Copies of this chain bind each other. A is one copy, B any other.
Amino acid sequence: MSFINPAITFVLITFTNNYMAIFSKTCEYAMRAVFYVAQKSHEGQKVGIKEIAEQINSPEAFLAKILQKLSRERLIQSVKGPNGGFYFDAVSLNRPLADIVSAVDGNEIFTGCGLGLTYCSESNPCPLHDEFKKVRNQITHMLNHTTIGKFNLGLIKGKFTLNK
Contact = CB atoms under 8 A, between A and B. Distances in A.
Nearest to A154: B127
Interface residues of A, number: 58
Interface in A59-105: 65, 68-69, 103-105
- What is the total number of copies of this protein in its complex? 2
A126 B65 CA distance: 23
A73 to B, nearest CB: 11
A117 interface: yes
Contact of A162 (B27, B108, B127): B127
Contacts of A142: 128, 131-132, 134-135
Contact of A20 (B23, B31, B151, B160): B23
A153 B106 CA distance: 35
B65 A15 contact: yes
A151 B25 CA distance: 34
A129 B32 CA distance: 12
A163 B151 CA distance: 42
A110 to B, nearest CB: 11
Contact of A126 (B26, B124, B162): B162
Nearest to A132: B142
A48 interface: no
Interface of A: 15, 17-29, 31-32, 35, 65, 68-69, 103-106, 108-109, 112, 114-120, 124-129, 131-132, 134-135, 138-139, 142, 146, 150-151, 154-155, 159-164
